Amino acid sequence: MMELQYKPELPKEKRPIYIIGAGGIVRDAHLPAYKNAGFVVEGITNRTKQRAIDLAKSFNIPNVYDSVEDMVEAAPKNAVFDLTLMPNQFVATLELLPNEAAVLIQKPMGDNYEQTLEILEVCRRKKLKAAINCQMRFAPYVMAAKYLIKQGLIGELYDFEVRLTTYTPWEYFPNVVNHPRLEIQQHSIHYIDLIRSFLGNPGKVYSKTLKNPAKPMSSTRTTTIMDYSDRMRAIINTNHDHNFGEKNQESFVKWEGTKGAIKARIGLLLDYPNGKPDLFQYCIVKEGEEPKWVEVELEGSWFPDAFVGTMASLMRFVEGATTELPTSVEDVVHSMAIVEAAYKSNNDGGVYPNYNL
């Protein structure tokens, strides 16, 4: 069995992190990931201060600030700000940061494309070193798949599929459950950005997102096709309504090439929030042999471990260890353009067949 390289490179300098927001994702993902990586969180602030105080006690954060302004005043020049508020608060908060500051911004990059462009404008004007927390790119199974593909081991990639057939208890996400653009803007954006990170920008996008007649949410099921060529199929199928037991639930990413294939189970999304184990497997076709799938046990998972990758990549960029910032606002704005195109495709509809025979 070959040795896979799938862990993110860490920065030489572990710059002090200052977190803006103290929601569930900070508790469950950001802070555990940073602790595991040995990153130093120096301060936190939240509109409801007690939540920040509680997290500070749990994770030994030395400073709790009354406001973003107080935090900015106290933060050293080499601070990295971690912005975890809701998207409609991004622009006003970014305006409070020092010019040329380093900041990691929660996804999605806006509640709509107009907000996306406003966020991009303030980041450009203030010359912020800004990245979006599109952390799925750094999930262990994604990094392992990218390694195999870069080595040429599955040949030319021609099929990329993300499929989710499970039950999502949206009540765990009170800040987004009533969002008018729930499924694509808040969830499928993960997979749109993931596909882009492998294949680049598609030429066209086709999408249909749907309501469940028994639920109040704006959308809970989506099919999106990202059109690259007549040789590459890139498709996202999500169904958050499959509440019929675990037997036929599934959650995976699959890559197929001319010499092999890779499949990764996204365990996080099965039996949420408890989750199931991830499963990473690959098949490399050898002439004269029957195809054989190899399972590899990887350390870590999407949550919380992928959150190390987004912060580490920003720190490495700021320290000059690399010229690449994978999830920069300049890059992720293209993922948001695809989201907007998906909604336009959904609204414009398909082609009417001619039934007048």
CA distance linking residue 51 with residue 340, whole number of Å:
34
Per-residue pLDDT at 357: 87
**pTM of the predicted model as reported, rounded to 2 decimal places:** 0.97
Domain assignments of the chain as residue spans, ordered by start: 17-134+306-328, 137-298+336-351
Per-residue pLDDT at 1: 66
Query: Tens digit of pLDDT per residue, the chain (357 long)?
Result: 688 999 999 999 999 999 999 999 999 999 999 999 999 999 999 999 999 999 999 999 999 999 999 999 999 999 999 999 999 999 999 999 999 999 999 999 999 999 999 999 999 999 999 999 999 999 999 999 999 999 999 999 999 999 999 999 999 999 999 999 999 999 999 999 999 999 999 999 999 999 999 999 999 999 999 999 899 999 999 999 999 999 999 999 999 999 999 999 999 999 999 999 999 999 999 989 999 999 999 999 999 999 999 999 999 999 999 999 999 999 999 999 999 999 999 999 999 999 998
At the fourth CATH level, which superfamily is domain 17-134+306-328? Answer: NAD(P)-binding Rossmann-like Domain (3.40.50.720)
Count CB atoms within 10 A of the CB of residue 286. 11
What is the DSSP track for 317-348?
A: HHHTS-S--TTBHHHHHHHHHHHHHHHHHHHH
* Closest to 227 (Cα-Cα) out of 210, 205, 212: 205
CA distance linking residue 330 with residue 131, whole number of Å:
8
Q: Which residue's entry shows tokens 């039950």?
A: 167
Distances (CA, A) of 153 to 120, 198, 323: 38, 15, 27
* Residue type at 237 in one-letter notation: N
Top-tier CATH class for 137-298+336-351: alpha beta
Burial label, 349 (beta-carbon count in 10 A; 0-12, 13-18, 19+): exposed
* Closest to 309 (Cα-Cα) out of 110, 141, 96, 71: 141
* Cβ-proximal residues to 281 (8 Å cutoff; 6+ apart), any chain: 262, 263, 264, 293, 294, 295, 296
Per-residue pLDDT at 2: 80
Alpha helical stretches, state H, the chain:
24-25, 31-37, 49-59, 68-74, 90-96, 113-125, 140-150, 189-199, 306-319, 329-348
Ramachandran angles phi, psi of 309, nearest 5°: -65, -45
Token couple for 3: 């040795």
Token couple for 148: 């195999």
